Amino acid sequence: AQSVTQLGSHVSVSEGALVLLRCNYSSSVPPYLFWYVQYPNQGLQLLLKYTSAATLVKGINGFEAEFKKSETSFHLTKPSAHMSDAAEYFCAVAFSRGGADGLTFGKGTHLIIQP
């Protein structure tokens, strides 16, 4: 079965430090990859998406992610963390084009920002 792995259920960084959240996926190159953010008691908000147009993808709130085919990775980064970035982050993959199989999600990474 296809799978998405997020390394680290919790990541803690200091305010102003680099944020790195890791995501790896199984199988061959999938059509689309996504990062979503979830704030407490809210739904999922799209941060960014990879659609094969460019390997480095820029999203909202200063986040970006790089697709690396050789490493089957799609890690999320932000140069300087803000307190408002504290949330749960999910990597998701659409393994089949057309979307009939839904998205496969990683288990999420809780980002903690230390003042």
Partner 1 sequence: GAGVSQSPSNKVTEKGKDVELRCDPISGHTALYWYRQSLGQGLEFLIYFQGNSAPDKSGLPSDRFSAERTGGSVSTLTIQRTQQEDSAVYLCASRGFLDTQYFGPGTRLTVL
Nearest approach, Cβ of residue 98 and partner 1 (Å): 8
Residue with token string 């307190």: 83
Residue numbers of the site for partner 1 (CB under 8 A)?
Answer: 31-32, 34, 36, 41-46, 49, 51, 90, 92, 94, 97-108
17 vs 59 by CB, closer to partner 1:
59
Residue 43 burial by Cβ neighbours in a 10 Å radius (0-12, 13-18, 19+): exposed
64 vs 88 by CB, closer to partner 1:
88
Confirm if 65 and 48 have CB atoms less than 8 A apart. yes
